[in-house]
Amino acid sequence: MAHLLAALIVTAAVIGQVSLARAQTQPTSPATATATAPAEPRPENVEADVSTRSVAVTSSFTGTEIVVFGAIDNARHLESNEEQYEIVITLEGARQRLVARRKSNVTGIWVNTESVTFADVPSYYAIASTRPLDEIADPIVLRQRDIGFEQIPMQPERGWATGLSTSDLRKFKSAVIRLKRKERLYVESEFGVRFVGRNLFRATIDLPANVPVGPLATRVYLFRNGQLIDTFESRVQLAREGIERYLYDFAFSYPMLYGIAAVIVAIGAGLAASSIFQRHRR
């Protein structure tokens, strides 16, 4: 009996050693390797918003400010200053047709001699960035996203038949941008975006009193090391309010009736003023 018990103990020990050896030599399964491997860092993305989604334009409208703010999700700790995150914010108005004319001196009189009609010209364009654009990304990357005054798509509808060269066309584009900037409809702020902490940012963009009424597309671009990582887009609506809105709708919906009404009002105002002056003379 004792010999049988000893034999069972020896057999159990041998089986245990064999099982342990198999467990040590068995390859790790893919599921286990995936679970133990370090997780890949999640890609960065930008989340942003604007201070207001609707701006009322009335007779007393003198301009306003739009604050764009946001944060970078999954931001990494970057040691090198050359690989820091960069933010570019653009605020673009509705695109419209625009006629650019050039005057020339003909026998002592300045007259319009050449003109080009551009299509899809932004009525308003503001851009703010953490640094100058040429320090953030390559011009090719900026051109792909139409970022910057030089990258604004201004396709001519007419003008090629007049014999304009590429150089002349470039001058027309530069003139349009120069006039728009003079009217404060094209605005650029190279250091207008400021970081608050490591991943929070904000920018303030001015809307002048003469900003065209309509939707404004707000776009936020996140760059790192010259490459575009993520984009965020929202809209701000500029809408007429009060009596201005009704007059505008009436003028464009019923132009003939509006013209007749304007003439009647002008005649009535003239007769009223004349009557008041005659009474004062007496």
pLDDT value at position 114?
A: 78
Tens of pLDDT, residues 62-108: 899 999 999 999 887 766 665 688 999 999 999 988 888 887 777 77
pLDDT value at position 19?
A: 46
The secondary element (H helix, E strand) that includes residue 257 is helix 255-281
Q: Say how far apart CA 98 and CA 114 lie, in whole Å.
A: 14
User: What's the distance, Cα to Cα, between the start and end of the chain in Å?
Assistant: 149
Q: Say how far apart CA 93 and CA 212 lie, in whole Å.
A: 8
Per-residue burial over 210-238, b if 16 or more Cβ lie within 10 Å, else e, is ebebeebebbbbbbbeeebbbebeeebeb
DSSP secondary structure letter of residue 52:
-
DSSP secondary structure letter of residue 140:
H
pLDDT value at position 15?
A: 40
pLDDT value at position 21?
A: 45
Minimal CA–CA distance to 179: which of 108, 127, 131, 121? 121
Give yes or no for a contact between 162 and 112, defined as CB atoms under 8 angstroms apart: no
- Tell me which amino acid residue 256 is: M
The first and second tokens of residue 31, run together, are 């599921």
Give yes or no for a contact between 238 and 214, defined as CB atoms under 8 angstroms apart: yes
pLDDT value at position 219?
A: 95
Sorted by sequence, the CB contacts under 8 Å of residue 138 that are 6+ apart come out as 226
Q: What is the pTM of this model?
A: 0.72
Give yes or no for a contact between 218 and 89, defined as CB atoms under 8 angstroms apart: yes
Q: Say how far apart CA 59 and CA 12 lie, in whole Å.
A: 97
**Under the phi-then-psi rule, with left for phi > 0, alpha for psi from -120 to 50, and beta for the rest, what region is 166?**
alpha
- Tell me which amino acid residue 227 is: Q
Q: Say how far apart CA 51 and CA 65 lie, in whole Å.
A: 9
Mean pLDDT per 10-residue section of the chain, whose length is 282 residues: 42 44 48 52 86 86 92 78 83 90 79 81 94 91 90 73 72 90 93 89 93 92 92 90 65 76 83 79 68
